């Protein structure tokens, strides 16, 4: 099954005989500002209007564990994750569609987690709510409890040592913006730069101006130019395992399996004993 679904396809499926469970994962990366701007409130955005029948899922609370040594968005407790998914109506025998406001990062995190824990049919709304032209609702649904029981391990996962090794033996892609990779700026984590040997591959270059994924053949060419050979292992990291999930999704659209380093730079950079590379070159 394709990992993404268009807005028109979703609209059709929602009025079909077996509509999918729809999850709203609206979220934005929060960076403190001197202006003191209030952080984005995904739940408030959901309350103001969402795809009818969609259930809100909080990325920070339900798709990640507590921030700490494992990074800003470590893996959630499996039991708690399963409870949250069942409360949202998720069952293994029913399709799931996830979406966010349009960037796609948060939806991809949900896609990756559900797939990693064994759900066989999860798709991301390509372009998110920004491309949805159907009706929206402020009504909060009360879905029948689902039966999904998460079992970890259905997708490849990297820890810090595995990411370091893959940077030497395969291809490790850094999905963050180029200036963060080069170490020119670092707005969130303790130090700027990248994992030695990693290749800069901003996930923003995988999508069009409207936020939809580029065609699969274009994505395949892009990843080939970055070093994807079709035989070597591929892994991805970012700041905290969210935008990297979006790059893993782009790789899947291109037909390339890839592992996710969930701890990502937020875990790597917490340990002063780990090496840090700066500048435009991998080493």
User: With contact defined as beta carbons under 8 Å apart, do 21 and 89 qualify?
Assistant: yes
Distance CA 53, CA 46 (A): 11
Q: What's the pLDDT tens digit per position in 45-75? A: 999 999 999 999 999 999 999 999 999 999 9
Domains of the chain: residue spans and CATH:
4-131 (3.40.250.10), 157-268 (3.40.250.10)
Tell me which long-range contacts 270-274 makes (C-beta under 8 A, separation of at least 24).
270/69, 270/71, 270/189, 270/190, 271/160, 274/160, 274/164
Distance CA 266, CA 204 (A): 19
Tokens encoding 9:
């396809």
Q: Which helix (H) or strand (E) holds 83?
A: helix 78-87
Tokens encoding 32:
């403190």
**CB within 8 A of 78, min separation 6: which ones?**
117, 150, 152
Phi-psi region for residue 127, left (φ > 0), alpha (ψ -120 to 50) or beta?
A: left
Concerning whether 238 is annotated as a catalytic residue, the answer is yes
Nearest 5 degrees, angle CA 221-CA 2-CA 132?
A: 100
Tokens encoding 176:
């963050």
Give the per-residue pLDDT at 16. Answer: 94
Q: What's the pLDDT tens digit per position in 246-279? A: 999 999 999 999 999 999 999 999 999 999 999 9
Q: Which of 97, 236, 238, 244 is catalytic?
A: 238
Distance CA 163, CA 169 (A): 10
Sheet holding 96-99, edge to edge: 4-5, 122-125, 96-99, 21-24, 55-56
- SS3 assignment, position 237: strand
Give the per-residue pLDDT at 29. Answer: 80
Q: What's the pLDDT tens digit per position in 168-179? A: 999 999 999 999
CA 171 to chain centre: 19
Overall average pLDDT of the 32-50 stretch: 77
Tokens encoding 185:
């700026």
């Amino acid at each position: 099954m394709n990992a993404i679904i268009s807005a028109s396809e979703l609209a059709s499926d929602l009025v079909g005989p077996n509509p999918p469970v729809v999850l709203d994962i609206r979220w934005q990366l929060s960076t403190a500002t001197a202006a003191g701007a209030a952080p984005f409130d995904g739940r408030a955005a959901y309350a103001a209007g969402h795809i009818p029948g969609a259930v809100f899922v909080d990325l920070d609370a339900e798709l990640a564990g507590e921030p700490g040594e494992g990074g800003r968005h470590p893996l959630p407790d499996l039991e708690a994750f399963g409870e949250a998914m069942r409360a949202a109506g998720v069952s293994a025998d029913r399709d799931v569609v996830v979406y966010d406001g349009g960037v796609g990062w948060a939806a991809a995190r949900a896609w990756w987690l559900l797939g990693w824990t064994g759900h066989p049919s999860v798709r991301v709304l390509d372009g998110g709510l920004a491309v949805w032209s159907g009706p929206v609702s402020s009504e909060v649904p009360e879905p029948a409890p689902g039966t999904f029981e998460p079992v970890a391990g259905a997708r490849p996962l990297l820890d810090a040592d595995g990411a370091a090794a893959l940077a030497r033996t395969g291809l490790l892609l850094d999905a963050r913006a180029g200036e963060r990779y080069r170490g020119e700026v670092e707005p969130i984590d303790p130090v700027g730069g990248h994992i030695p040997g990693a290749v800069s591959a901003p996930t923003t270059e995988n999508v069009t101006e409207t936020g939809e994924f580029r065609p699969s053949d274009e994505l395949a060419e892009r990843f080939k130019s970055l070093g994807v050979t079709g035989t070597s292992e591929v892994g991805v990291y970012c700041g905290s395992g969210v935008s990297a999930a979006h790059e893993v999704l782009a790789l899947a659209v291109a037909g390339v399996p890839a592992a996710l380093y969930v701890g990502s730079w937020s875990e790597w950079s917490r340990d002063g004993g780990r090496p840090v590379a700066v500048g435009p070159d991998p080493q």
